[in-house]
Structure 1
Amino acid sequence: MLFPDYRPRRLRQNKDFRRMIRETVLSADDLILPLFAINGKNVKNAIPSMPGHYQLSLDNLVKTAKDAYNLNIPAVMLFGIPDKKDSLGTEAYAKNGIVQRAARELKNKIPDLVVITDVCLCQYTDHGHCGVVEGNIIENDASLDLLARTALSHAKAGADMVAPSDMMDGRVTEIRNVLDENSLSHVPIMSYAAKYCSAYYGPFREAAHSAPQFGDRRTYQMDPANALEAIREVSMDVEEGADIIMVKPALPYLDVICRVRQEIDLPVAAYNVSGEYAMIKAAEKMGWIDGKKVMMETLTGIKRAGADMILTYFALEAAKDLLKKGE
């Protein structure tokens, strides 16, 4: 098709034409709101690098989750900040740990909200790594039982879905088996299947107090240069029983999201991570960009790449904007 026979601008000339031919439509149904739970009452600790986000005690956590639910956001992702840490991250799988209590409270107060829990050890270990440490080695197989115990404790507390983010080999199988053995076969697993060792996680580590105390996470999170490896990782998690697979971060890995969407027939999630959020907020504050427009363009781009759902710190803001537009 060539000009003058084909004139693409014909269908761009007014907003109604543009709506009618729009290929990618973002809605609140696509969004998942991450939340940080902390002990105490009436606690709302601002996270400086993530404007508009807070460490929340359970009373304030419920209020924020209700705001999300009232904006038609279907789900939240829970991260916990414990009072104490140790080498084995025992608070991660404690019956009355912060995430377990948060899950129970949310399901009690907002039963129809989908509660997803992050399953990892880094927020709970005194060394800040996502598994058991021996010397300077993060031991894969020794970590699997602790991760499975964490997922089981979350599911018993009422979590609708568990999301292992540790990137230990074999953890999906271990979690699936322990859930099934405890009559929790109905609980799905959202696997952080292709999680890269990224510099974009900095603000999150401030929020969750989860920075490693030595070394880095390159021996278990993926090399940012690799895309074929992501397909292998995702395929392995699918074979092990994952119900949803996730690519994290989103923006630097849109090509990976697209490839995963083309090759895998399970739902695909993408995590629009803290550093991506912080950069947009910082540029908006400086007056360099229109923050709302960049936010919506970013989220639409992630969905266009193939994500069925997007974990994003923009969830509340985006849902409000979508509600105004009636989309």
Structure 2
Amino acid sequence: MSNLQFDRHRRLRMTSALRDLVRETAVTKDDLIYPVFAVEGYDTKNEVPSMPGVYQYSLDLLKEEIDDVVERGIKAILLFGVPAHKDEVGSNAYAENGIVQRAIRELKIRHPELTIIADTCLCQFTDHGHCGIIEEGHILNDRSLDLLTKTAVSQAEAGADVIAPSNMMDGFVTAIRHGLDEAGFVNVPLMSYAVKYASAFYGPFRDAAHSSPSFGDRRTYQMDPANREEALREAASDNREGADFLIVKPALSYLDVVRDVRAEFNRPVVAYNVSGEYAMIKAAAAQGWLDEKETVMEKLTSMKRAGADVIVTYFAKDAARWIDEG
């Protein structure tokens, strides 16, 4: 055996201190964005049935939830709104006193240092559950851009720090960027859902946001999961049109795309660890089939290793605690 020549890689794994010393990738609390759901009403806290530990909060209780988020050291939230009233054009998405606009104003007073990212879409607010205007069963791309821009401007007026358009209409980045600039919000960045697949992993989110389409599906505007090169075309358009961040959604099944976008574009890349990915781990952990902490941190680390600068995850509060525990 003494004549064998081989590399001894294990030398750098022999102690915990050595492993820490040579670790290439680390998830920190600064990497995390926590999604939250605001609903109308008072003293309301509804657990999402398919997402244990995730709730819809009325504004009075949302403030307490965000107190806890900030205390844990999380510096950014992604805000979704669930309105009491829906109509065919999603008018509550851009109403001055809409649920999202009120939530932004109240949270900014309470936590001015918190970065509030406003999801900008119509699906939670339309009675048909699609992300744009419908005519004869078709989603009208260009007419939808006007309402999406109106929504983004109203969110910026309420005090949103970042606008995150998730609708996947063609041209949504340039339309919203021009709208924000014309309204005087030239310094409000866009976190574009640049690469958003028509994924089976969104099911639990639709429970949380009450946003399931009443007919058909979203495959005419969300991407085919089989396509990789198309993702780069989508991201290139958004990059050219003025996006400041590029989101890849979902994350776990699309780490190759996260890596591609990271390599191609000099923009912060956001991996969205979606609701189905969350629900699977929660279900397996509840059965004792997985160690939740170890699995979650391995998963988040894989997203950072693939090239994500930022991670949107429902595990953000838990991850922050685990990071503090070392």
TM-score (norm 1): 0.98
Structure 2 residue 288 is the aligned partner of structure 1 residue 293? no
- Which residue does 2:313 correspond to in 1? 312
User: Over residues 244-303 of structure 1, what are the superposed CA-to-partner deviations in whole Å (9 max), with x where a residue is unaligned?
Assistant: 010000001000000000001000001000000000000001111111110100100011
The Cα of 1:67 is off from its aligned counterpart by: 1.4
- Which residue does 2:133 correspond to in 1? 132
Write out aligned runs for 1:169-180 (5 A): 169-180=170-181
Structure 2 residue 125 is the aligned partner of structure 1 residue 159? no
Structure 2 residue 251 is the aligned partner of structure 1 residue 250? yes
> Where does structure 1 differ by over 4 angstroms across 4 or more consecutive aligned residues?
none
The Cα of 1:60 is off from its aligned counterpart by: 1.5
User: Over residues 204-261 of structure 1, what are the superposed CA-to-partner deviations in whole Å (9 max), with x where a residue is unaligned?
Assistant: 0011000000000000000000010000000100111000010000001000000000
CA distance in 2, matches of 1:307, 1:64: 26
CA distance in 1, matches of 2:109, 2:325: 30
- Which residue does 1:93 correspond to in 2? 94
Write out aligned runs for 1:58-207 (5 A): 58-207=59-208
CA distance in 2, matches of 1:213, 1:15: 53
Alignment coverage as a number of residue pairs: 324
- Which residue does 2:262 correspond to in 1? 261
Query: Structure 1: which 5+ residue stretches go unaligned?
Result: none
Q: State the percentage of identical aligned residues.
A: 59
CA distance in 2, matches of 1:273, 1:293: 18
Structure 2 counterpart SS, 1:88: coil
The Cα of 1:4 is off from its aligned counterpart by: 4.2
- Which residue does 2:280 correspond to in 1? 279
Question: What residue identity is the alignment partner of 1:130?
Answer: C
CA distance in 1, matches of 2:256, 2:289: 27
Structure 2 residue 303 is the aligned partner of structure 1 residue 302? yes
Query: Structure 2: which 5+ residue stretches go unaligned?
Result: none
Structure 2 counterpart SS, 1:78: strand
User: Over residues 2-56 of structure 1, what are the superposed CA-to-partner deviations in whole Å (9 max), with x where a residue is unaligned?
Assistant: x745201000001110001000011010000000000112111011111111000
Question: What residue identity is the alignment partner of 1:156?
Answer: E
Question: What residue identity is the alignment partner of 1:59?
Answer: D
CA distance in 1, matches of 2:64, 2:13: 41
CA distance in 1, matches of 2:231, 2:289: 34
CA distance in 2, matches of 1:74, 1:257: 23
Write out aligned runs for 1:2-13 (5 A): 4-13=5-14
Structure 2 counterpart SS, 1:56: strand
